Amino acid sequence: MIRLSDERGGVIGKLLGILVVLAVCASAAVYVYGKTQEPLSVDIAHTATSDGEREPAVIGVAPHRSVYVATIVRNEGRLPVTLEGISTAATDASQPYVATSMTLGDGKTATPTGGTFVAPSLDPGTGVGVVVTYTINPNLDCSSYARHPSGPVPFPPLPVRLSTYGVDADQDLEFQVVPKIGGITSASCERALG
């Protein structure tokens, strides 16, 4: 009897050990997937500027100008994702505009709602409308511009924070059909930053 219970205890111990190893492996797999996945995408961008332009083809820089971009953010991954907001990763000094805030919207109306952003959970195959506000990059390097207007360059991507089962990650989302940024001179850059 004592020997039988010892064997049973050994089997239970081995089973518990295997379950712990499997749980650790599953947690590690979710963590790696959460950190390396890029499940989000964005639809067509609808843009407006704070000085009244709607759907401009080219956007320049001007003092106190903001650019509002409405779009739908979609989860194309296999796991549910929580859209946490704008990523706080360092921005490139060559980008004239940087994303500063995000609110929920209908995905088409490029007007900030002024409400507090509430992080939505996105199941696979679902999406949510957002309005993102871009402002002049305070670290913009004006010395990279000449006296002649710059040619058009792509609008910067949307840097978002997301989480999957508690694992945080960042992703840059490239817009479809978005205006270009151009016509910037060293003088207009310095005025915009002034």
The 3-state secondary structure of 63-124, one letter per residue: CCCEEEEEEEEEECCCCCEEEEEECCCCCCCCCCEEEEEEEECCCCCCCCCCCCCCCCEECC
Model confidence pLDDT, tens digit, residues 55-81 = 999 999 999 999 999 999 999 998 899
Q: How confident is the model at residue 4 (pLDDT cuts 50, 70, 90)?
A: very low
